Amino acid sequence: MFKKILIANRGEIACRVAATAKRMAIKTVAVYSDADANAKHVSFCDEAIHIGGSAPKDSYLRWDRIIEAAKATGAEAIHPGYGFLSENEEFAQACANVGLVFIGPPASAIKAMGLKAESKRLMETAGVPLVPGYHGSDQSPELLKREADRIGYPVLIKASAGGGGKGMRAVDKSEDFDAALASCKREAITSFGDDAVLVEKYAQRPRHIEIQVFGDSHGNYVYLFERDCSVQRRHQKVLEEAPAPGMTEAMRRQMGEAAVAAARAVNYVGAGTVEFIVEQHLPEDATSGVTGERRAGPPQASSAPSGGSAAHEVASVGAFYFMEMNTRLQVEHPVTEAITGLDLVEWQLRVACGQTLPLKQEQLRITGHAIEARICAENPDNNFLPATGTLHVYQKPACTSFERANLSNTGVAVRVDDGVREGDTISPFYDSMVAKLIVHGQTREEALARLDDALAQTRIVGLNTNVQFLRYVVRSPSFAQANLDTALIPREEAVLFKQEPVGLAMAAAAAIAQALVDEKASEGADPFSRRDGWCSHGVTQRRFGFEFHDEPAQAELTYLHDGALRLVVAEVSGPLVFSKAAQGIDIQFAGQRLTAAVYRQGEVDHVFMAHGATQITAIDLLAHAGESHAETGRLTAPMPGKVVSFAVKGGDKVSKGQTLAVMEAMKMEHTIAAPADGVVKELLYAPGDQVAEGAELLRLAE
């Protein structure tokens, strides 16, 4: 076994790999950029080497510096994690050239599967079903559009060298194709250095099911069952689970054997994932309004599906089509670990040093059900715009971190994999994922309940996150009933976006109760420092000003002679009773009794309750008297990033919703649209400029 390895990645996956290495008594070397000088993974490893600037191209993509660091520290092997260089055949070959073991497949396998178009041609030769599409080398925009018109809309444009949802656009009609293609190619060049694309038929109500495969250098292969990754936003996964609901044993075997055949075709070694687009057989009560062509595929199994319940018939898995192979460990690998009781990183290390696979196919078993939620710094109500900021509060649920997990059994009910700590900053240079929350239960229903409870205990203050959105998804009818497909999020839009789990009355009551607790704590011993509202005659009243969802609100608190409090918030009134509790403040108001945890950041109170979280802003009533909320002509950057292009120039007339500019941040493109009709007064930056969050990009006049 290796004595020392270098981990050529950052954040959560670097910590994850290091945890297994420590358990196996393997020393680890971290690499870090300027932005990551104080990151968790740097201190988690035994050694750390600085490799360059904050931008990935200046550090984590500089494989020459990474190899130098490995040689300088005496590392015998390099684990690439996922993302960055994990699927770069030049890096894998460069490692081999200098005598370093690349903990992953050989460069030839990465090359064969790395380009989507070439891999599809390879799979076609191997007899694996493919989605209708164009995978050719002629990349002229005119030909690509003709092919899209021939295939029939909707189509999906995908970067051939892509992954992680980047360089991917769905197009509904021919007139939108040119703009989508241009955007896709720009994003592909930025993320992968290659703007080649393929065009495929966009299946109706498909599921995204992937098979975990493993191979060793002795010709042995196994599949470690499937994961359903259908719940996606912007073509990136949000929730993943294993096993896939509705999967039959016969279909599991068919898909697993097809995935192993794909791995054999390229002499694959190590961990890999074969991803399939899967049609489904919908129950009769779920097919209303569903359209989509049926295509020939593998024979259908008739055994009863797993993962369902008596109360709801789960759609069963139907025909499947090869999509791509990811030649690395996947972000969602923990759900496979949870249902198999295996450590996949340990398998990677053993295979990379020449050992055979630890188990044979007939020895593998599925136990229970697991779900992973990706906690990301983003604003779901604003088209999932990535967010940056400091984790002023970062509280995790009662859980087992990976370094303490015992994967020799499947007893870990809640697990958190992360690469951050409270006080760390989420920067604009890297992916927006903060942590992965993984739960395991004996049934899917148990896992769902456990996930919602764990999300309720997750408290993050300092930047926008998707934690509350994840709770909405978990509790949505479609997800709860395993009515899964890649359009689940837009289909459930009415219950997923712009919701308010905590009303104004309880939010204000919690903020006021916390303020009174803080005041009590600051009182001195003398009676003149008391702030409890006592007076010798009459009653004392206090007014509080708030802003809740951009709307002003007021509350009036009355101190009664017997020490009781009465609160009026808008149209809601009643006694206010509260006391400190282990997890915050116990509050009784307006016929409800709830426990709230309140964290103040500036003037904003972040309120967390069992059924949801919200924010309410305290305002000075005198300072805000007469203030208006008139719209201005400013258009600002929603987050730090680079200006890619302007679609207008000074003097142009624009319409509401028209594209004005395109920005790039966190490896994704973001479109800036006109909020109203107007005339462009001035452009304040040029394409290529780096801008700060809130920077004014251009000005509009009515």
- Distance, C-alpha 311 to centroid of its chain: 30
Rounded distance between C-alpha atoms, residue 139 and residue 141, angstroms: 6
* Rounded CA separation 98/399 (Å): 41
Give residues with Cβ within 8 angstroms of 686, minimum separation 6: 643
Question: How many other CB atoms sit within 10 Å of the CB of residue 518?
Answer: 12
In sequence order, the 6+-apart residues with CB closer than 8 A to the CB of 153 are: 171, 172, 173, 174, 202
Look at the block and give the residue holding tokens 């899917």: 444
Residue 74's CB is within 10 A of a number of other CB atoms, namely 12
Task: Provide CB contacts within 8 A for 381, sequence distance 6+.
Answer: 497, 498
Burial class (CB in 10 A: 0-12, 13-18, 19+), 58: middle
Quickly list DSSP for 43-76: HHSSEEEEEE-SSGGGTTT-HHHHHHHHHHHT-S
3-state secondary structure of 386: strand
pLDDT value at residue 412? 78
Q: Are 151 and 198 in contact (CB under 8 A)?
A: no
| List 16, 205, 328, 350, catalytic entry | 328
Strand-pairing partners, residue 679, are 653, 701
CB 347 within 8 A of CB 333: no
pLDDT score at 293? 34
Q: What is the pLDDT of residue 288?
A: 40
Whether the bond into 243 is cis, omega within 30 of 0: yes
Residue 421 is a catalytic residue: no
Read off the pLDDT of residues 524-568 as tens digits, 9 standing for 90 and up. Answer: 555 555 555 555 555 788 999 999 998 999 999 999 878 899 999
Q: Is the pTM of this model over 0.85?
A: no
Averaged pLDDT for residues 114-134:
80
Phi, psi of 549 (to 5 degrees): 55, 50
Torsions phi, psi of 388, nearest 5? -125, 160
The pLDDT of residue 365 is above 90? yes
Confidence band of 132 (pLDDT split at 50, 70, 90): confident
- For residue 19, the tally of other CB atoms under 10 A from its CB is 20
Q: What is the pLDDT of residue 296?
A: 32
pLDDT at 192: 83
pLDDT of residue 303: 35
Do residues 585 and 517 lie in contact, with contact meaning Cβ atoms separated by under 8 Å?
yes
Selected residue with higher pLDDT from 189 and 449: 449
Per-residue three-class SS string for 24-46: CCCEEEEEEEHHHCCCHHHHHCC
Distance between CA atoms of residues 575 and 560, nearest Å: 10
CA of 561: how far to CAs of 166, 525, 632, in Å? 64, 22, 49
Residues 6 or more apart whose CB falls under 8 angstroms from that of 484 comprise 207, 228, 230, 231, 245, 315, 478
pLDDT tens, position by position, 195-254: 999 998 887 788 999 999 999 999 999 999 999 999 999 888 999 999 999 999 999 999
CA distance 556 to 546: 11
Amino acid sitting at position 45: C
Distance separating alpha carbons of residues 442 and 546, to the nearest angstrom = 45
The answer to whether 633 touches 620, Cβ cutoff 8 Å, is no
pLDDT tens digits along 37-58? 999 999 999 999 999 999 999 9
Distance (Å, rounded) from C-alpha 325 to C-alpha 411?
30
Asked if omega into 154 is within 30° of 0 (cis), the reply is: yes
- What burial class does residue 551 get, using C-beta atoms within 10 Å of its C-beta: 0-12 exposed, 13-18 middle, 19+ buried? exposed
Q: What 3-state DSSP class applies to 93?
A: helix
Domains and CATH numbers, the chain: 4-103 (3.40.50.20), 132-201 (3.30.1490.20), 207-289+300-496 (3.30.470.20), 504-619 (3.30.700.30), 634-701 (2.40.50.100)
Range with the lowest mean pLDDT among 112-116, 192-196, 566-570, 574-578? 112-116
Span of 170-184, 221-235, 605-619, 632-646 with lowest mean pLDDT: 632-646
Distance CA 437, CA 470 (A): 11
The residue length of the chain stands at: 702
Cα separation, 160 vs 451, whole angstroms: 35
Report the range of poorest mean pLDDT among 293-302, 420-429, 561-570.
293-302
Q: 256 near 212, Cβ under 8 Å?
A: no
Cα separation, 531 vs 519, whole angstroms:
7
Using DSSP, state whether 643 is helix, strand or coil. Answer: strand
Q: pLDDT at position 15, please?
A: 97
Residue 152: C-alpha distances to residues 116, 156, 170 (Å) = 20, 11, 12
**DSSP assignment of 347-394:** HHHHHHTTPPPSS-GGG----SEEEEEEEESEEGGGTTEE--EE-SEE
Contact 348, 318 (CB under 8 A): no
pLDDT in tens, 556-570: 999 987 889 999 998
Highest mean pLDDT among 428-432, 456-460, 599-603: 456-460
Rounded to an integer, what distance in angstroms lies between the CA atom of residue 313 and that of residue 246? Answer: 9
Sheet containing strand 690-691, strands side by side: 668-673, 659-665, 641-646, 690-691
Say whether 97 sits in a helix, a strand or coil: helix
**What is the share, in percent, of the chain residues with pLDDT greater than 90?**
67
- The residue among 286 and 278 whose pLDDT is bigger is 278
**What are the backbone angles phi and psi of residue 377, rounded to the nearest 5°?**
-85, 100
DSSP-derived letter for residue 198 is E
Helices then strands, counting H and E runs in the chain, come out as 17, 41
Contact in structure between 524 and 530 (CB atoms under 8 Å): no
Tokens 């670097």, located at residue: 14
Give per-residue burial for 22-48: e unless 16+ CB within 10 Å, then b: ebeebbbbbbbbebbeebbbbebbebb
**pLDDT value at 295 more than 50:** no
d(CA 677, CA 653): 8
Cα→Cα distances 466→266, 375, 613, Å: 38, 6, 11
Is residue 671 over pLDDT 70?
A: yes
The rounded mean pLDDT for the chain is 88
Distance, in Å, from the CA atom of 584 to the CA atom of 608, rounded to the nearest integer, reads: 9
Question: Pick from 153, 199, 147, 149: which is nearest to 293 by CA?
Answer: 153
Alpha carbon separation from 362 to 231, 243, 331, 359 (Å, rounded): 30, 17, 26, 8
Contact 70, 52 (CB under 8 A): no
How far the first Cα of the chain sits from its last, in Å, is 69
